[in-house]
């Protein structure tokens, strides 16, 4: 398959797993080694079709900033596969722990970490009619109860885990409803933890470009379909941040950037 045919294939990618998407994209971008103009076009096309995939922005920024794009693409993919965030989450939660742990949805990084903790009573908070949630839960290695926003408070979870879609300069893109749910959990004495996997913490200008592109892609501002509905919050809504290097504070997250700022990506149409 020719490089630009691969791009058309990736543009139609709908699996929803950023890990598989990053792997396919890394393989595709590596074929543009020696073609800097083609590489820029390829990165912009990928991001135009998948603007909310922060790890894809991270991959493209690393490749564009590298002297050897092919090596950079594969090094990034290997780093992504070795992300320590799931393991850091698994060891950070109390052990043993009998009280419920709530998770907003069932996102991939959190699911990978909790798969190592068979002792936990896990509650996945459903946001409206989310068919993707059932699909993801079928892959779970342990039982997970699905509950609604109201029911979750009656169960009094000790923690609410929220996975960032993207982060930058102390702000985070998270599922819509996160702020209200976090306030409610706090009011019942629970702790709110924000999970930011490798590739999700972007430099401020790339984060702003991601937000701008997401807004331009939506049929309405911040489309209300369950799998795409988002809100931007200050990271201080969370008590603690979990990432590849372990536990951090929201202030520490504001200083984190997993990749350089690639000027070629600041305006995808430019």
pLDDT at 11: 67
pLDDT at position 80 over 60: yes
pLDDT at 202: 98
Those residues with Cβ within 8 angstroms of residue 20's Cβ, 6 or more apart along the chain or in another chain: none
What φ, ψ does residue 234 adopt, rounded to 5°? Answer: -70, 140
Of 99 and 228, the structure prediction assigns the larger pLDDT to 99
pLDDT at 3: 59
Q: How far apart are CA 167 and CA 200, in angstroms?
A: 6
Of 268 and 5, the structure prediction assigns the larger pLDDT to 268
CATH number of 85-254: 3.40.50.10470
Lowest mean pLDDT among 9-23, 28-42, 138-152: 9-23
- Nearest residue to 125 via CA among 97, 157, 98: 157
The mean pLDDT value of the chain amounts to: 88
Do residues 166 and 172 make contact, with C-beta atoms less than 8 angstroms apart? yes
Q: How far apart are CA 269 and CA 99, in angstroms?
A: 49
pLDDT at 170: 95
**pLDDT confidence of 128, banded at 50, 70, 90?**
low
Bridge partners (DSSP) listed for residue 121: 100
End-to-end CA distance of the chain: 27
pLDDT at 221: 47
**pLDDT confidence of 219, banded at 50, 70, 90?**
very low
**Each residue's pLDDT tens digit, 225-258:** 544 588 999 999 999 999 999 999 999 999 999 9
Do residues 153 and 128 make contact, with C-beta atoms less than 8 angstroms apart? no
In the block, tokens 């792997």 appear at 23
The proportion of the chain whose per-residue pLDDT surpasses 90, expressed as a percent, equals: 65
Helix axes 54-65, 204-217, angle to 10 degrees: 130
pLDDT at 140: 73
User: Domain map of the chain by residue range?
Assistant: 3-82, 85-254
Measure the CA dihedral 85/86/92/93, to 10°. Answer: 150
**pLDDT confidence of 199, banded at 50, 70, 90?**
very high
- Nearest residue to 147 via CA among 109, 185, 117, 98: 185
């Amino acid at each position: 398959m020719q490089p630009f045919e691969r791009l058309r294939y990736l543009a139609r990618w709908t699996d929803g797993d950023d890990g598989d998407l990053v792997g396919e994209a890394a393989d595709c971008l590596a074929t543009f080694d020696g073609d800097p103009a083609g590489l820029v076009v390829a990165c912009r096309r990928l991001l135009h079709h998948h603007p909310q995939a922060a790890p894809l922005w991270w991959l493209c920024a690393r490749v564009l900033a590298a002297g050897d794009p092919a090596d950079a693409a594969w090094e990034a993919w290997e780093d992504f596969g070795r992300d320590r965030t799931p393991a850091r989450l698994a060891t950070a939660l109390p052990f043993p722990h009998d009280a419920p742990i709530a998770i907003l949805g069932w996102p991939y990084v959190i699911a990978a970490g909790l798969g190592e903790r068979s002792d936990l009573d896990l509650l996945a908070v459903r946001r409206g009619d989310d068919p993707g949630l059932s699909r993801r839960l079928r892959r779970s290695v342990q039982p997970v109860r699905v509950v609604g926003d109201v029911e979750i408070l009656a169960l009094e979870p000790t923690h609410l885990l929220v996975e960032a879609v993207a982060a930058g300069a102390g702000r985070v893109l998270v599922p819509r409803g996160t702020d209200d749910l976090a306030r409610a959990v706090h009011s019942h004495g629970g702790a709110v933890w924000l999970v930011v996997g490798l590739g999700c913490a972007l430099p401020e200008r790339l984060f702003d470009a991601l937000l701008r592109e997401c807004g331009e892609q939506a049929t309405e501002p911040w489309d209300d379909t369950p799998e795409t509905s988002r809100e931007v919050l200050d990271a201080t809504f969370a008590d603690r941040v979990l990432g590849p290097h372990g536990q951090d504070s929201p202030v520490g997250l504001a200083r984190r950037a997993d990749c350089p700022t690639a000027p070629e990506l600041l305006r995808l149409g430019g």
